[in-house]
Every structure is written in C-alpha cells, then in structure tokens.
Amino acid sequence: EAGVAQSPRYKIIEKRQSVAFWCNPISGHATLYWYQQILGQGPKLLIQFQNNGVVDDSQLPKDRFSAERLKGVDSTLKIQPAKLEDSAVYLCASSPGTSVYEQYFGPGTRLTVT
Amino acid sequence: GDSVTQMEGPVTLSEEAFLTINCTYTATGYPSLFWYVQYPGEGLQLLLKATKADDKGSNKGFEATYRKETTSFHLEKGSVQVSDSAVYFCALSPSNAGKSTFGDGTTLTVKP
C-alpha cells in the first residue's frame, strides 16, 4: 500500500513570496490533515478535511494560508505572502476515518523563508 | 483545551538500558492516546496506541499503559538499541474527533 505522498520535499523562498504544497493521501482515506511543525516542537494542526469538506480550520492563519481538497482526494496548502515565522516542516496526514483516529504521515515539506 | 506534556530531552542511553519517557495529558472525556516515532530523515509513524483506560499498547518492544487516574501514558522499553534513536511524540485524539494534539517530542539517542 502506497503511503502519503508530499511534494516538494524542500522549498526556500523569500518573505512575501507565495508557495504551495501538495499532498496525496493513502487511497480510500476520507480524512486529511495539514500540520505545521516548527523546529523543536510537536506538530500543530492547521486544517482537517473530511472528504472535501473542512472539519476544523480554527488554527489556520486565514489571512495568509489557504487549503483545498478537490474531489476529496489530493490537497494543496498555500501560503501567500510568506513570513519568516512560517519556516517549518509542513506535514500531511490521512486516516481512514474509523473510530480510532490513528494517522498516517507523509515525509513532510521543509520550508525555509529568508 | 487539550494538551500533552512530555518529559524534556534529550535523553541519552547506552545500548540495553531501560527507557522511560513520561507523558501526561489534559483532556475532557476519554481520548485515545498514541505514541508516534520520527526516525532521522523520515516522517512520523505510529508506534503504539491505547483507546481506553488500563489498555496497554505495545509494539517493537515498546509499551505504554493508559492510566486515567494519573492522566499518563508513559513509554517504556526494557532494552534499547542504537536503532531506537529517534524523536518520540505523545499524542491524544478526542473521543469524538480525529484532531490530534501532540507533545513537543523527546529526542532519544542510544550509544553503543
């Protein structure tokens, strides 16, 4: 079974530029998550999708971050404009949406904003 | 809101030593509890889980018991190996939602 795929793996941009990350979850997984992991900290949930609907985006900085999950499969996370404090690893995870929500993580995208 | 507190690292042990990484949580209701591991250069992967009080999760020689009376889920292994060197994250998911709250991770280094 293929795991969660993410691209790119690394990205370096200047502040005020825009960037987009892509995620392809495990086939058949209804729930998709985007996390931000700052160095030395645990992952922090940005947004959770159930199929193509948003379940929780309470910690998403909506003035600069946006995410979509078209057709309930792939998802993109965008930052525009980026700030220095956005430097982090962006993790995508998926889960089948059964009663115990163990999550399967992708390798992450390491973003550096200069 | 929900929170997870892990013992601060880094933790350095010699091979075959006993490992304990403490984890306590704050949550309403009866959350599910997880330990995830992140090996160098890799993504997070589930190590073990427990879904109700007194459950014991186990995998690869690691164990953790869901203690509701002390709101704890401490990770233990009787004899660590160099290959166990990684960052370990404790996490919880509420009983009615998939959203997980993670601790800040504990870095374990095992020396031969």
Cβ neighbours of A43 in B, within 8 Å:
44, 89, 100, 102
Q: Does B105 touch chain A (CB under 8 A)?
A: yes
3-state secondary structure of B82: helix
Query: Can you tell me the mean pLDDT for B41-66?
Result: 93
Neighbours of A107 (CB within 10 A): 18
Name the minimum distance, in Å, from the CA of A100 to any CA of chain B.
Answer: 7
Q: Which residue has the tokens 């993790």?
A: A91
**Facing residue for B100 by CB, picked from A45, A107, A108:** A45
Output the pLDDT for position B98.
Answer: 65
Check whether the bond before A96 is cis (ω within 30° of 0): no
DSSP A19-59: EEEEEE--TT--EEEEEEE-TTS--EEEEEEETTEEEE-TT
Distance between CA atoms of residues A22 and A7, nearest Å: 5
Q: What percent of chain B has pLDDT over 70?
A: 96
**The two three-digit tokens of residue A16, written as one number:** 């005020």
For residue range A2-57, what is the model confidence (pLDDT) as tens digits?
899 999 999 999 999 999 999 999 998 989 999 999 998 999 999 999 888 998 89
For residue range A64-109, what is the model confidence (pLDDT) as tens digits?
999 999 888 999 999 999 999 999 999 999 988 755 667 899 999 9
For residue range B16-29, what is the model confidence (pLDDT) as tens digits?
999 999 999 999 88
Which of A102, A104, A105, A109 would you mutate first to test chain B, the one with the most B CBs within 10 A?
A102
- Residue contact B43–A56, C-beta within 8 A: no
Output the pLDDT for position B102.
Answer: 93
Q: What percent of chain B has pLDDT over 90?
A: 80
**Facing residue for B42 by CB, picked from A102, A103, A107:** A107
Helical ranges in B1-112 per DSSP H = none
